[in-house]
Amino acid sequence: MYELNEEKDPGVLGPFELLAVLGQGGMGRTYLGRRLPLENLGPELETGYHLAGFTESADPALAAVKVIKPSRLRDSSEHSEKETRARFAQEIETMRTVASARVPALLGADADAEQPWLAMDYVHGPTLHKLVHTCGPLAVGPYGALGLALVDALRAIHGAKLLHRDLKPGNIALGPDGPVVLDFGLAVLTERDSAAAITKTGVGFGTPSYMSLEQARDIKHVTESADIYSLGAVLFFAAAKRPPYPLAPMQTPPKWDGVYGPCLPLLGRILVQVAEQRPSLDEIESDLRQLLTDHGLTEETAADQLRVLVADSGVVPEIPAKALSDLPDPEVQQAAQQAVDQGAAPDSPWVPDLFDEFLWAEAEDVMPLDGPAEPAPAPGEYVPTVVDPGARQAPEADAPLPPRPTVTSYRLAPPRPLSTPDPAVAPAVALQAAERLRDAYAHSGRL
């Protein structure tokens, strides 16, 4: 977490006062903020900011406010910027339908702003990536609590006909109330330019170390099973302090060295490269509960163990003092209110062009808490995260399921020599990574 640059950072984004910088990515910047108690905001702005029905509590909730460069929402081939922003706004409304304690609530958004932005609940805690790299693999209790929370999150996301597509340790925050999945939808909405990734068959999308083989080959036709694979890859990381594959998914099984024995059966069933053979979320939930029971733990005890681990880890970010106050900065409040009284947006005091230039100038100086931001892909079209209607659909809940053979991706017998990596996948993913790095360095001025 970093202090604001008072000369260039805005004090307000939409109706949210900005308090600190949480991170910088290829698409823009993320701030710690909170809702300003503005008067006379008016129904037009309330609706435009998607704040209709928003209820302020006695204690103002903190928000993670993302500002997005509008150039990242343009598509020069098929859709105009106006059409793309309209689809962005529709997606925001879709996101509002996801109700879960394991997914941050959407607090406001403006797809029509000069710099489009979204405000979500701020989760005060380290990422799973940070915790495991600091404290090591999780014990059975915290491991089970993490897995059950992620199952709940994916169940809510999939229930809204959305896919995450980028579930990874860096997108999981461990807050006071347990794990929360960040960037569901946002990972696709705003952190990626996805024309080449989602609208074209045979091109990968996501984080290679945590994606399934079918996602690496063809993101357009993946189903919920791809997110289930990523869940397994995250649980593998939690148990081994490393992803199942260091660079990209492969046909060969991962190396199981160092993975706690009782975790192997479930991970082996999830981390298979045939989507139809993976267990359902209900089956994963049942196995995780059985794992806890076998170790004499209840779900409540496991969740308490995870909370204690996080609290004692020393990696919980420190909240700036002004964020602990219930009162906004008087100058920021006055400027925002004056703009509203004059019929403008509350963030009108800041200069978009200056901020837009500032985002690129300091892209390398402000990084997320877990390290350097992932390089931004090449510009393209925004594509909603709603499940592709042409994709293979999972069977209805009431439909009888065919018998499922027991499938595992680890062997109990002595391992055979590893086969050659699938040439259709590994080189393609490596080339994509190289291209993203080349693009990132080009923007930094080092080339």
What is the CB neighbour count within 10 angstroms for residue 251?
14
**Residue 376, CA atoms < 13 Å, CB-side half-sphere:** 25
CA angle 239, 241, 246 (to 5 degrees): 115
According to DSSP, residue 97 is labeled T
Exposed e or buried b per residue across 39-49, where buried means at least 16 C-beta atoms within 10 angstroms of its C-beta: eebeeebeebb
Residue 341 annotated as catalytic: no
Q: Please give the Cα distance from 263 to 267 (Å, whole number).
A: 6
110, 166, 183, 347: the catalytic one is: 166
* Nearest C-alpha neighbor of 360 from the set 95, 71, 43: 71
DSSP assignment of 316-332, as one string? SPPPPGGGGSSSPPHHH
Q: Please give the Cα distance from 9 to 358 (Å, whole number).
A: 8
Instruction: Report how far apart, in Å, the C-alpha atoms of 397 and of each of 271, 340, 393, 394 are.
Output: 23, 50, 12, 9
Q: Please give the Cα distance from 275 to 284 (Å, whole number).
A: 15
* Nearest C-alpha neighbor of 104 from the set 175, 158, 30, 23: 175
Instruction: Report how far apart, in Å, the C-alpha atoms of 29 and of each of 70, 193, 203, 226, 349 are.
Output: 13, 16, 27, 28, 19
> β-strand 16-25 against 12-13: which pairing, if any?
antiparallel
SS3 126: coil
Q: Please give the Cα distance from 197 to 204 (Å, whole number).
A: 6
**In this structure, what are the phi and psi dihedrals at residue 159, rounded to the nearest 5 degrees?**
-65, -25
> β-strand 106-110 against 117-121: which pairing, if any?
antiparallel
Q: Could you list the active site residues?
A: 166
